[in-house]
C-alpha cells in the first residue's frame, strides 16, 4: 500500500470515519464524502492501483468485476431499478484527486446539481464512463509478445 493513500487506509479498515457499504476479498465500497446525489458510492480495489489511465487490456475483467460489485451494491441499497438513471465512471488523470483507482456510482443521475453534473460529465476530459473505459481497454493493441530465438547449446551439432 502507498502509506499516505486514504483509500488504502479505508480498504484496510484503519480509517475510522469511513463506514463501508460493502466489502469482499477484492473490493471495498463506501459513500463519497461529497455525495452528488442520494446514492453515491465509490467502488475501490483493495490493491493500490494508481489510476484508470494505467489499465491495460488485461484489466478488462477487473473493470467488469467492479461493475458487478456496483450492481450488487445498488441492489442492496434498493436502487437497482434506476438502471437508466445512473452515472458510472472514473476521473481521468490529471483530474483525479485521489490517486487510487475507484469507480463512482451515482444514482439517480438526474438529481445532480449543476456543478456535480459538470464534475461527472460523461466522457469529458476529466470523467470517463465505465462503458467508455471498457471500450477503450478492449481496443488497446495486444501487448507485444516476446519471442525468443531458439539458440542451440554450444557444441550442439547443427548438421
Minimum distance of Zn ion from residue 156's CB (angstroms): 51
Rule CB under 5 A: is residue 40 a binding residue for Zn ion? no
Candidate segments 52-60, 85-93, 110-118, 147-155, binder of Zn ion by CB under 5 A: 85-93
Which run of H or E residues covers position 7? helix 6-12
What is the number of other CB atoms lying within 10 angstroms of the CB of residue 74? 20
Candidate segments 7-15, 114-122, 125-133, 141-149, binder of Zn ion by CB under 5 A: 7-15
Rule CB under 5 A: is residue 7 a binding residue for Zn ion? yes
* Residue 88 · residue 111 · CB < 8 Å: no
Minimum distance of Zn ion from residue 77's CB (angstroms): 19
Rule CB under 5 A: is residue 5 a binding residue for Zn ion? yes
Cell (9 digits) for 42:
465509490
Per-residue DSSP letters for 89-153? Answer: EEEPTTS-SSSS--EEEEESGGG--HHHHHHT-TTSSSEEEHHHHHHHHHTSPPPPPP----PPP
Positive or negative CA dihedral for 62, 47, 101, 41? positive
Site for Zn ion in 51-70 (CB under 5 A): none
Which of 9, 46, 48, 136 binds Zn ion (CB under 5 A)? It is 48
Rule CB under 5 A: is residue 100 a binding residue for Zn ion? yes
Rule CB under 5 A: is residue 8 a binding residue for Zn ion? yes
Only one residue has cell 471498457, namely: 134
**102 an active-site residue?**
yes
Tell me the number of residues near Zn ion by CB under 5 A. 7
The set of residues, in sequence order, having a beta carbon less than 8 Å from that of 137 and lying 6+ positions away, is 55, 56, 57, 59, 60, 63
Minimum distance of Zn ion from residue 88's CB (angstroms): 12
Candidate segments 4-12, 59-67, 134-142, 145-153, binder of Zn ion by CB under 5 A: 4-12
Contacts with Zn ion, residue ranges (CB under 5 A): 2, 5, 7-8, 48, 91, 100
Q: What are the catalytic residues?
A: 102
Amino acid at each position: 500500500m502507498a502509506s499516505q493513500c486514504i483509500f488504502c487506509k479505508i480498504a484496510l479498515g484503519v480509517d475510522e470515519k469511513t463506514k463501508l457499504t460493502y466489502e469482499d476479498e477484492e473490493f471495498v465500497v463506501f459513500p463519497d464524502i461529497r455525495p452528488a446525489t442520494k446514492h453515491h458510492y465509490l467502488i475501490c480495489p483493495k490493491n493500490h492501483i494508481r489510476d484508470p489511465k494505467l489499465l491495460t487490456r488485461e484489466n478488462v475483467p477487473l473493470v467488469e468485476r467492479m461493475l458487478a460489485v456496483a450492481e450488487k451494491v445498488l441492489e442492496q441499497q434498493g436502487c437497482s431499478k434506476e438502471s437508466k438513471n445512473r452515472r458510472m465512471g472514473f476521473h481521468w488523470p490529471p483530474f483525479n484527486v485521489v490517486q487510487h483507482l475507484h469507480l463512482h456510482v451515482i444514482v439517480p443521475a438526474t438529481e445532480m446539481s449543476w456543478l456535480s453534473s459538470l464534475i461527472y460529465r460523461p466522457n469529458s476530459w476529466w470523467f470517463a464512463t465505465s462503458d467508455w473505459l471498457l471500450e477503450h481497454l478492449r481496443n488497446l493493441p495486444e501487448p507485444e509478445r516476446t519471442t525468443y530465438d531458439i539458440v542451440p547449446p554450444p557444441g550442439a551439432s547443427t548438421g
